[in-house]
Amino acid sequence: MGAMEGVESSSAEVEVIAKPTRRRYTAEYKLKVLREAEALSGRLTL
């Protein structure tokens, strides 16, 4: 006997697909990243 014994499957079942949430960065964080990139730009090539 299977694990799904007695469970009826409906063809009307709908699979819900999770929608990924977009990342939101603050202006402060973006400026910090830009400053770090500018500081490294003389030593590394991006």
Express each pLDDT in 31-42 by its tens digit. Answer: 999 999 888 877
Query: CA–CA separation, 14 vs 12, rounded Å?
Result: 6
Q: Is residue 44 within 8 Å of 36, Cβ to Cβ?
A: no
Asked if pLDDT for residue 46 goes beyond 60, the answer is no
Predicted model pTM? 0.46
Higher pLDDT, 20 or 44: 20
Q: What pLDDT is stored for residue 30 in this prediction? A: 96
**d(C-alpha 36, C-alpha 46), whole Å:** 12
